[in-house]
Amino acid sequence: MRDNQFDLAIVDPPYGIGVNKMTLGNGKKKIYRGQADWDKVRPTKEYFDELKRISKNQIVWGGNYFTDFLPPARCYIVWDKKTGDNNYADCELALTNIDAIAKIYTKFWLGVHAKDECERIHPTQKPINLYKFLLQNFAKPGDKILDTHLGSGSIAVACWDMGFDLTAYEIDKEYYDKACKRFDLHRRQGTLW
């Protein structure tokens, strides 16, 4: 890829924290295909160097886990999940190199509320409206967007709805197929207004 080929990379790489060991807040483990083994290893310095080379700006979910690879930043994005009294994190952090003020997005995301128009298809699935919030606040019309970890495809739906050009990658075929099916169903629904 060319230097600065993308205006904005919005990525959610594995944090390397062993998500397969986490429970649903009630001591029971949620079983996902592959038991989330992918989260044992986090991306390397070379991944982040390449991400910074091919994109002008980056938003990295879990940026707090990659401070050894990412420079200090003024702007953090906080997703307040309103999870309440359990062993889930109350929020997730994204670090960005964009020179802006910190932003907070609030969306209850636990139990039956942890889905968007479909069942959860990925253990770290994020809300479509969270990606719309990011695009509204940090992208400009005509920007080319990159996602190196497509997962459930929430970003694809948000980019489609908002008219952004997205290039996305997903190494896991099953997640990729489910994300494509989710996106196709959404795209075929259209809008009334």
Which contiguous run of DSSP H or E holds residue 10? Answer: strand 6-11
- The reported pLDDT for the residue numbered 109 is 76
* Residue 146 clears pLDDT 70, i.e. is over it: yes
Half-sphere exposure at residue 160, Cβ-oriented, CA atoms within 13 angstroms:
18
Predicted structure pTM score = 0.88
Binning pLDDT at 50, 70 and 90, where does residue 190 land?
A: low
Q: Which residues pair with 80 in a beta bridge?
A: 91, 106
What is the C-alpha separation between 93 and 61, in angstroms, rounded? 6
pLDDT digits (tens, 9 = 90+) for 85-136: 767 788 999 999 999 999 999 988 776 666 666 778 888 899 999 999 999 9
Domain 6-189 listed as CATH 2.60.40.1180:
no
- The reported pLDDT for the residue numbered 35 is 46
What is the C-alpha separation between 128 and 132, in angstroms, rounded? 6
Task: Answer whether 79's CB lies under 8 Å from 91's CB.
Answer: yes
